[in-house]
Chains A and B, each alone.
Chain A
């Protein structure tokens, strides 16, 4: 049987016991585990019956992916399936660190981890690299993805195969200061022009030099890809077609970037918007220095509950404004569960993945952690709405949301788009130059 060694993350109940076990095992048990692994391989175990003593190791990201809630779910699974033990590995607190770690580990075909929680942009790239086990035979084919929100069924279906199962959803929302808008008699803006006008009105009236009209992410981080795509999608264009070929409409893209720059020039956004990362937007809004802010779903709880939040009870959430004559568009995020292609316990792992992507699990995560559900029905569940009333409107936002380009070369796509967006916002390139660069480099990559 697999006797690979496990460590838990920082949760007290498991920490001491496992560490001591770990130390002992690691110092004296390397040879034993190697031998055991060899035996396992000799017996040729690919799928093991779950009734056997199985240990699964799950890589579940960092803090913001709520390993504490996952731990509770795993405990309940363990209770229902005696013989299965699950350990959590938290590595890579950020997208970059995770990518770093996963690239190294999966590249070397490490068998230690059975299940990975991956970002919505990764299934295509990792599946094509041969790192993810196709789940069709375990979940009943591609139709298993039908019950989920359309954007997630799409993102997890790679080359017609199920690459991963959705865990929880996320999207970019527009947070705003309800109190300030009410004070100045302004309604929720529906277009960017309306937003600019509203912001100017409030800024001029408040005369607060520290108040910003709008905060978005302009630093060369993953979020900047969304910054580029939001006004682009809003004008009704697509970045790529279903086959993955680049369909960039350069004029539309330039108009989008110009829109952001106009907001900087008119004083609605601060001049160094290209330095702003997600945490900075959150912290500044939380301190009451921002009127409108674009951010992910987690921010709601932060604004509402954080001890040092200056904006408790003053925050509203709305869908993103549209470009003139266009529709509201938002960037969808979210996390998925995937089984490692090198796992020694694929059947057991797939069973766990199935459990973690049921509506009940989705409801649990929504109620306990305000993690957006991947099932439409859960949004209107009474218990969920009692905890997070804003979910009622959130459902429509996510349904109308779009996923970032699904490409087997997403790493490169992301890099090209985010560095050019950053360059445009920092004014080291004109929007036209930035878009031209994106076009020329990605035409090759997205064919």
Chain B
């Protein structure tokens, strides 16, 4: 038996991990450090006073008292809770369908991944156009089906949020489908054959063979879907700009607004730290799953 306590293993591990850590230190750790540092100051660039006030945790307190922050956080959580399972279900469905034997596999797989290939920054614009009251195809289809009045989708807070979630699910289910499909393809056919010999129906095969073996892929897909859902910015920003009013504003949009428009870097950084804490909280559960696998 090979000894697993081989010291050269540790060196190897460090060597393999070093590049990753170097890059992360440069691009993430230093900026994050700066971010946390800034969040402890009252740094408003357009306030006129250039001297920096150290204010400790006041920015964080202000955030907790800020109506806009809670509204944006609530919108973000709503989007997360709707689009993460939504993208998973749709993505899983698409992946299972795409796993069927096709004659022209590349057509199916290309179509599966095209939503992912469309630049995010334009996805929102395109779907905003689809949902446009006058020029959108949604209203055109409804008109052809006999609807009396065109619905103003993006001017109604609920419908606007629904349209945003739909767009996000459309785009990200492609991402989920890709990861799940690769996972599906890793499941050896022999297992299905064995189950079939044992008399399992297709449905039972799905629950007892496919799903358990797919769990690692599902967890991976869920982690990133959740993280990106918490950071949702591009689609609501380009679709509604947070409208009508500010009813579809997400936390990332608020951070963007505070930092870029208001030039209030201290407060913006504090909001970003909150977003990190939220992400940490939500994904701790997922990662424990991965730990159990290893």
A residues at B contact (CB < 8 Å): 99-100, 103-104, 107, 125-126, 128-130, 219-221, 270-272, 274-275, 408-412, 414-415, 419-420, 422-423, 426-429
Contact = CB atoms under 8 A, between A and B. Distances in A.
A426 B158 CA distance: 13
A217 to B, nearest CB: 13
Contacts of A129: 45-46, 263
A130 B50 contact: yes
Contact of B134 (A100, A221, A272): A272
A125 B243 contact: no
Contacts of B246: 419, 423
A428 B244 contact: yes
A426 B262 contact: no
- Please classify the interface of chain B as helix (H, G, I), strand (E, B), loop, or mixed, using the class held by over half of its residues: loop
Contacts of B48: 128, 408
Interface stretch (B22-30, B211-219, B253-261): B253-261
B241 A409 contact: no
Contacts of A100: 260
A408 B157 contact: no
Interface string B152-191: 1011110000000000000000000000000000000000
A128 B47 CA distance: 7
- Please classify the interface of chain A as helix (H, G, I), strand (E, B), loop, or mixed, using the class held by over half of its residues: helix
For B132, B156, B262, the residue with the greatest tally of chain A CB atoms inside 10 Å of its CB is B262
A166 to B, nearest CB: 21
A409 B133 contact: no
Nearest to B259: A103
A427 to B, nearest CB: 8
A220 B265 CA distance: 23
Contacts of B157: 428
B260 A220 contact: no
A219 B240 CA distance: 9
A275 B260 contact: no
Contacts of B261: 99, 103, 411-412, 414-415
Contact of A271 (B132, B152, B260): B152
B124 interface: no
For A100, A275, A410, A429, the residue with the greatest tally of chain B CB atoms inside 10 Å of its CB is A275
Nearest to B157: A428
A125 B263 contact: yes
A413 to B, nearest CB: 10
B137 to A, nearest CB: 15
Contacts of A408: 46-48
A410 B262 CA distance: 8
A272 B241 contact: no
A409 B262 contact: yes
Interface in B233-283: 241-247, 257, 259-263, 265
B163 to A, nearest CB: 12
Given A100-B260, A103-B260, A411-B262, A272 B152 contact: yes
A182 to B, nearest CB: 28
B42 to A, nearest CB: 14
A411 B241 CA distance: 15
Contacts of A427: 155
Contact of A411 (B46, B133, B150, B242): B46
Given A107-B263, A423-B243, 4 more contacts: A99-B260, A275-B132, A409-B262, A419-B242
Contacts of B241: 219-221
A274 B247 CA distance: 14
Contact of A103 (B50, B155, B245, B263): B263
Nearest to B44: A409
A428 B245 CA distance: 7
Given A128-B47, A426-B155, A274 B244 contact: yes
Interface string B189-231: 0000000000000000000000000000000000000000000
Given A107-B45, A128-B47, A272-B134, A426 B243 contact: yes
A275 B45 contact: no
A426 B263 contact: no
B260 A274 contact: no
Given A271-B152, A408-B46, A220 B263 contact: no
Contact of A219 (B134, B243, B247, B262): B243
Nearest to A270: B134
For B46, B133, B156, the residue with the greatest tally of chain A CB atoms inside 10 Å of its CB is B46
B242 A220 contact: yes
A268 B263 CA distance: 39
Contacts of A104: 260
A125 B47 CA distance: 8
Contacts of A410: 46
Given A408-B47, A411-B46, A428 B260 contact: no
A125 B257 contact: no
A126 B48 CA distance: 10
Nearest to A277: B241
Nearest to B149: A271
Contacts of A414: 261
B244 A272 contact: no
Contacts of B262: 409, 411-412, 415
Contacts of A103: 259-261, 263
Nearest to B245: A423
Nearest to A221: B241
Given A103-B260, A129-B263, A220-B242, A274 B47 contact: no
A108 to B, nearest CB: 11
B154 A275 contact: yes
A125 B46 contact: yes
B244 A423 contact: yes
Nearest to B247: A428
Given A99-B261, A272-B152, A409-B262, A426 B45 contact: no
A270 B135 CA distance: 13
A408 B245 CA distance: 23
A409 B263 CA distance: 8
Contacts of A220: 241-245
Contacts of B133: 271-272, 275
B159 to A, nearest CB: 11
Contacts of B134: 270, 272, 275
A107 B241 CA distance: 24
B245 A275 contact: no
B245 A422 contact: yes
